[in-house]
Structure 1
């Protein structure tokens, strides 16, 4: 007489090992180890992608399929394949919805929705995002972290559509929610976002105050700290407080060397503060720094030599900026800086 387990496996035409997920346990462990590693390389990500695709292929049921797709999306995202990651996470979201509705289990819904908000923002394409945000507002009405992320997503949407004041409202709403979590990094990033929109609406004193608080919060998180320091110096320049801007630049110059793009931006700001082109020139010649930041150094040097009446050097840097039709000379006003 067949056991109940044998009847199930026979009815589904699968082996007992597959039903119990014993055949994929080791692969799942290997995949998670690769995803959690701090020493990820192109080779390890390629290995992780292969394993993730294998696990998706054999996955049974909404739970196994949903989590397998989520992990596949994580790898695609790490490989900067944002469109592919977005499509994969949308498929995972279908499973998450079923699990939530049938079993009142919202764990996968929470994980995948957070990931989807990242790809909406990275792709700057927001079709159907309101449906996702409404689902999250309803499913997690008391979850401060989720509500902080939905506000952050709405902030980016408003910004992309040119609604700066609305974006600022959502930035403060996101800050309010993240303050409830006690997560210092998230709080600091939210302060940086709010300060950004205060800067854009020319409320420089408020922007500087927020950034000063953010710097205090993330002294142990260097990359986030570099963002706050760069924006703080930029805001101090707008306030005309060049002496304080120079002190801040000196304080964090050594630390910034570990982050070439932030080092480059701080050196460009140093040219503005000290009225000396040498610092931006160093950035323009440094191949450790991304092309985007080197282009900013050209903008800066163009402005510098143009202001000094040195038309020959100004024109040479103008040409290095490719004389693009959308080029604006006031590089500090560029949002990407």
Structure 2
């Protein structure tokens, strides 16, 4: 038993020493940042902006790779299978926690196969409606929606606008009908034309229509009011305490990545987000810079993994 104890202690010491040695020289080659969506979207743009700053901080290139498909699960599977050495990172989003409830099986375990690094930012949703809709504020809208048949649109099943509206329906007891589109742009265009009545959309795309009077704005879906829209109430303060639905973006790595390397990445991404130029560019698009610790992102992932199955089940949405 004594020999086993000594051997175990030596192995542990060796592994810890190897991890520390890797951390001391990390990174000594380019880092690959996997975006599980197509180029040009919000996740991709944030990845390229933040990745460029992280490259400056760590002194190594950060290469953005787009591996789109299956709601982000293709890129996630690729990272889960990658070497746990800190050189392959995943841009995780709201889809990261919703996919286990949307798909019957995934080629990875969202909770076990990834370790959190940092919650970079989030994007509140704007609850907007066609101006022909009679209600002029959020409380009037909820009352109206409970007594009238309304349709709401989204960029497709499982997208943030869809999930956010289902969360609101669940909390408020609404029965609106979902109209899924193949993309955010055609969905917003049809709302402006009055094809359907209401939608959750992003500040960067919807605000110009609000300012021109082509859409009404009832509330924002974040926990706090948006800096860009200080006079617009949140859903939470309008009768639904604790309501929060945002499109968040964070960094995760394969779970076996050594702790010292994870700590170095956590520090670099936090520093990048809190850079004044990076923060200013994010804020200009309606994105809220966060730059959290790994623990904060881990807590959010755990909370949402428990939340989405209940919401989707109540909405009658079955896993594909």
Is TM-score (shorter-chain normalized) higher than 0.5? no
TM-score category, normalised to shorter length: under 0.3
Larger RCO: 1 or 2 (CA < 8 Å, sep 6+):
2
TM-score in terms of structure 2 length? 0.25
Structure whose residues are more often helix by fraction: 1
